[in-house]
């Protein structure tokens, strides 16, 4: 199992003046404490932001009992969609085969919210078990475009790293839909996103050359397959300059809501003030997909300036439940970044 960052936004390691020890050292908790955390996640009388911290606390434990507790919450029919998608996400970040059955069950449950099924499919890709390709292939025909697209990206990821592990480089024939290696370069799983401590849905492309040349090449990825587009997006994130952020902004014109939500997520990882204006626009756009608005809200929480607080507070009364809940979580993330709290994953604190 590799380490998983235990702050929802997976903030840039260099930008944080506090070291989140939970991202490197598993928390040791008794069965009783694990059960207490599970109870808090399920307790609808608790504020959303506290319940979210409990999810990330269980993620920091990284043991089979903590995965079982998260799995029970994921299977619950009453738990909020926002929390369930976050649970599916952290199960992927924990990279344990132990979580595969519950993630498959979640993907297969067509009555489940799209955002939760999307995150379950993405988590299966992050865990990377080859046997998951069968179920992911089945849902390439799903009625939801977000689920279909995620399944393709997850299959590409599993195939890519399988080939990397066994042969060093995927053949073009076997990975037809995948990556233009000449243009994008090769990436080892261990090397991926050390800076952001996240298991990305697609490997960032290792581009060489000047900043401007790398940005231009990352932008070209947009003309390819969606997985390639993702690789270009992560390349822009890894460049991380204002110019790279401006190139990312074009991603909000993409026809895929899935891609737009990933752009917002990545902006949250970067925490660049250069993305504040566009993220505010996305959050305020009532016609935008809820998944995208949710990621925009949490990204604004991570950017964490006083004017972002104002806009997040305003949307605590948004007509969409997922947006309202995301704003509560975002305000809590903001508070965390401005406090002397030792770690975000402190679900057992009163």
Binding site per annotation, positions for Fe cation: 85-86, 118-119, 261-262, 294-295
Distance (Å, whole) CA 274 – CA 299? 12
Under a CB-based contact definition with an 8 Å cutoff, are residues 318 and 36 in contact?
A: no
Under a CB-based contact definition with an 8 Å cutoff, are residues 170 and 186 in contact?
A: no
CA 39 to chain CA centroid, Å, is 24
234: its two tokens: 């992560």
Choose among 23, 149, 191, 146: nearest CA to 93: 23
Residue 76's Cβ-count burial label (10 Å; 0-12, 13-18, 19+) is middle
In this structure, which long-range contacts are made by residues 191-195, counting pairs with CB atoms below 8 Å and at least 24 apart in sequence? 193/234, 193/238, 194/13, 195/12, 195/13, 195/14, 195/238
Choose among 46, 6, 45: nearest CA to 24: 6
Residues making up the annotated binding site are 85-86, 118-119, 261-262, 294-295
Under a CB-based contact definition with an 8 Å cutoff, are residues 204 and 235 in contact?
A: yes
Q: Helix, strand or coil for residue 23?
A: helix
């Amino acid at each position: 199992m590799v380490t998983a960052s235990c702050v929802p936004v997976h903030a840039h390691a260099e930008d944080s003046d506090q070291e989140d020890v939970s991202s490197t050292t598993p928390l040791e908790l008794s069965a009783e404490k694990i059960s207490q955390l599970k109870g808090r996640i399920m307790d609808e009388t608790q504020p959303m932001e506290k319940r979210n911290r409990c999810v990330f606390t269980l993620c920091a434990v990284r043991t089979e009992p903590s995965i079982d507790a998260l799995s029970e919450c994921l299977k619950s029919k009453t738990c909020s969609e926002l929390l369930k998608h976050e649970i599916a996400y952290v199960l992927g970040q924990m990279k344990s085969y132990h979580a595969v059955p519950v993630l498959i069950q979640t993907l297969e449950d067509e009555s489940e919210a799209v955002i939760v099924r999307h995150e379950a499919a993405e988590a299966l890709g992050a865990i990377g078990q080859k046997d998951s390709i069968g179920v992911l292939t089945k849902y390439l025909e799903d009625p939801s475009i977000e689920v279909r697209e995620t399944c393709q990206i997850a299959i590409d990821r599993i195939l890519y790293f399988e080939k990397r592990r066994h042969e060093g480089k995927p053949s073009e024939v076997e990975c037809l839909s995948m990556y233009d290696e000449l243009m994008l370069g090769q990436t080892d799983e261990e090397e991926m996103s050390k800076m952001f401590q996240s298991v990305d849905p697609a490997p960032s492309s290792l581009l060489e050359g000047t900043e401007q040349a790398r940005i231009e090449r990352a932008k070209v990825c947009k003309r390819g397959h969606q997985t390639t587009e993702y690789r270009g997006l992560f390349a822009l994130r890894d460049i991380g300059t204002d110019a790279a952020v401006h190139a990312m902004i074009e991603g909000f014109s993409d026809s895929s809501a899935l891609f737009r939500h990933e752009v917002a997520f990545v902006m949250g990882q970067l925490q660049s003030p250069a993305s504040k204006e566009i993220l505010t626009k996305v959050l305020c756009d009532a016609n935008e997909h809820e998944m995208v608005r949710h990621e925009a809200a949490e990204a604004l929480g991570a950017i964490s300036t006083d004017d972002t607080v104002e806009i997040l507070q305003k949307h605590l009364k948004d007509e969409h439940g997922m947006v309202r809940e995301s704003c509560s979580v975002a305000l809590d993330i903001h508070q965390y970044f401005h406090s002397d709290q030792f770690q975000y994953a402190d679900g057992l604190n009163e």
